[in-house]
Amino acid sequence: DVKVTQSSRYLVKRTGEKVFLECVQDMDHENMFWYRQDPGLGLRLIYFSYDVKMKEKGDIPEGYSVSREKKERFSLILESASTNQTSMYLCASSLQGGGNTEAFFGQGTRLTVV
Amino acid sequence: GQNIDQPTEMTATEGAIVQINCTYQTSGFNGLFWYQQHAGEAPTFLSYNVLDGLEEKGRFSSFLSRSKGYSYLLLKELQMKDSASYLCAVPSSGGYNKLIFGAGTRLAVHP
């Protein structure tokens, strides 16, 4: 069974803390993505990576950074957490190439910043 | 730019048929995805359309009209477990299979 696994389902952090969200996939996918999901806004892309050590900004990268040291692992870092980063964070992976390269999602991390 | 619109909420009765619409604007077209997301869970893949027409997969069908920038997801013989959000998504014109999502349609199925 293919899997994308996020390290935590629920996290509560304080304002100003540095927060690490971890994601691991076992499908040998080249592409990995971090989205945040907020009511009424849908999924918005924060960052993505198409290869080890490669990263590209998505639509809302401010306040975030990422790390991809190994193909299977993609980390999202909140440098200094703020209350407006309270959200559901979803990691996804997919193969490269065109066509029906469906994205597989992790179960999500619900982050609350207090 | 790219934009995707879908209704926010819909309700339907168990056993009925429901159609969830999605309109999109994109500078290049590389197909359209539908995902299902139950509350508190990960989105899961339902369908992919790249050519015009209807693709049927059991109780679920998806339709695409590229000239109209329009797609719909058709759910037949609705079951209570179909209560979920349905997300329409298109690959970004920037490549790398980045998906741009609509805000999702929350479907509530009632007995």
CB B54 within 8 A of CB B63: yes
Chain B residue with CA closest to A51: the answer is B96
CB A30 within 8 A of CB A50: yes
Provide the residue-wise pLDDT of chain A in tens; the chain has 114 residues. 669 999 999 999 999 999 999 999 999 999 999 999 998 888 999 999 999 999 999 999 999 999 999 999 999 999 999 999 999 999 999 988 766 788 999 999 999 999
Amino acid at A51: D
Helices vs strands, H then E, count in chain B: 0, 11
State the smallest CA–CA distance between residue A6 and chain B in angstroms. 11
Structure confidence at residue A2 (pLDDT): 67
* Other beta carbons within 10 Å of B35: 24
Provide the residue-wise pLDDT of chain B in tens; the chain has 111 residues. 678 999 999 999 999 999 999 999 988 888 999 999 999 899 999 999 999 999 999 999 999 999 999 999 999 999 999 999 999 999 887 767 788 999 999 999 999
With 0-12 / 13-18 / 19 or more C-beta atoms within 10 angstroms meaning exposed / middle / buried, residue A57 is middle
Structure confidence at residue B27 (pLDDT): 81
Structure confidence at residue A99 (pLDDT): 67
Within 8 A by CB and 6+ apart from B69, the residues are: B23, B24, B25, B26
**Stretch 85-104 of chain B: residues touching chain A, C-beta under 8 Å:** 87, 89, 92, 96-104
Q: What are phi and psi of A64, to 5 degrees?
A: -125, 155
Chain B residue with CA closest to A88: the answer is B40
User: What is the per-residue pLDDT across B67-94, written as a single tens digit (0 to 9) for each?
Assistant: 999 999 999 999 999 999 999 999 887 7
Could you give the CA distance from residue B31 to residue B64 in angstroms, rounded to a whole number? 9
Chain A residue with CA closest to B30: the answer is A99
State the smallest CA–CA distance between residue B68 and chain A in angstroms. 20
State the smallest CA–CA distance between residue B22 and chain A in angstroms. 14
